[in-house]
Structure 1
Amino acid sequence: MNPLLTTGLDAHRGMTALSVNLNKVALLRNTRTLGIPSVTRAATIALQAGAQGITVHPRPDERHIRAHDVHELAALMTQWPQAEFNIEGNPFHNLMDFVRAVRPHQCTFVPDATDQVTSDHGWQFPQDAQRLAPLIAEAKSLGVRVSLFMDPTAQAMHAVRELGADRVELYTETYARAHATLQQAEVLAGFTATAQAALREGLGLNAGHDLNRDNLTEFLVAVPGVQEVSIGHALIADALELGLDATVRDYLRCIHRAGAAQGGPAR
């Protein structure tokens, strides 16, 4: 059984999973026509180094991940039955086409505009509820777990559960900006409260955006029940200096340090 395919209610093997976002690998490849660096090769290196999942966020303009990448990665992931394939995107743009075609383990609904440089906010309730509901139901009918990209707003967690989503992915840029400042404790408290609210509702909990080797451990120590972090930009930037294999292993060490601080196994 894939250990990442959980209900959101069970313990996640005692540690948070690392899903490596490969968008920036594709962005570099797309500057030339040589096919390098290879997205599937990067995925293989990350998985061999211990990453528990691969994430992509294909946008309609294909400025980084392209349609063929999604299909090639889906084929690759069949060789890694213990790992998860997560596809992010706006379900009102191109995401659902990929969900229907490859049926990833998880799809993460993100409310980004077609011209956004990167995701910068979560879904809003009740404004977005009615139009999200049928797409959540469709994805789940295909056997795909649904996670909603959300700001750290505790009172929204009940509405997420009412819609039938399985998880939330907490948008962590505000934490990253506050890290190592006088605002860190206050900002973290908001994430902690939101995580607690999500867990009370029976939701699984993911997190991502601007998490890095400096701030990841503190976040996981403070925020309960995070099952998965999706990290791309910082991880790929670190890989330019350290190499992808060493970088993935270092991010896993950050996760394990958080587990040890919470009384779990140290590695």
Structure 2
Amino acid sequence: MILQTIRKKSPLIHCITNYVVANFQANGLLAIGASPVMADGNDEVEEMVAIASSLLINIGTLNDKTKKSMILAGKKANALGIPVVLDPVGAGATTYRKQTVKQLLEDIEFAVIRCNIGELAAIANVKWQQKGVDSGTGSISLEDEAKRIAQLYHCIVIVTGEKDFITDGNHQQWITGGNPHMTEVTGTGCLLSAICCAAFVSDNQPYYQLVDVLRCYKKIAEQAGSTTQYIGDFQIAILNELYRLSKDGER
């Protein structure tokens, strides 16, 4: 199981992320045996990413300071061959976010883009009504656009939702399951992006490693939902299940 492999590898994951989810992301990475570092200062990100296994760029609470840090760290990671994952939170919600994502995609080579359908629409420049950082509403050929973006940027694209879709531009797969409470707890998608960082570097078949992660995360959601009644407990159950599966595997 991929989570057990991550625990054995214990990768250092450099997260330039948003302050809403930083603690949950860090605890989630620790739960699977990875080492999180949440450095975003302009004066240290290049030095920090140089010792990391992979880099996560999450634009959830975007500002000019973190934008500069993202570009500095991303370029340094590319120069050193360190994989970079993009989580374009709310990419279509404002002009600033959309322009920033455009610049990030121009300046940095990403290994993975992990987004929801609204964020995919923004990247693909498809008309869409984004609801803040939620997916919103509109019409898009998800499979076609995800595959096109994967081919355009030479990366793996993951679109999460009620069902998850993953493609590297050649292969593609849908993953079903999960629990609706995942949308009622802040940071579950952001944590998944961080786990994708760890999974990508855990072995030598990143596409299949990420497919495994998506399946595991759906099962974790199902198990958390079956053992809890309230949302606060659900978030704790997610961390507990991550820890259990990374230590013991599936029952």
Q: TM-score, normalised by structure 1?
A: 0.43
> Which protein has the bigger helix share?
2
Q: Given the two structures, how large is their TM-score scaled by the length of structure 2? A: 0.45
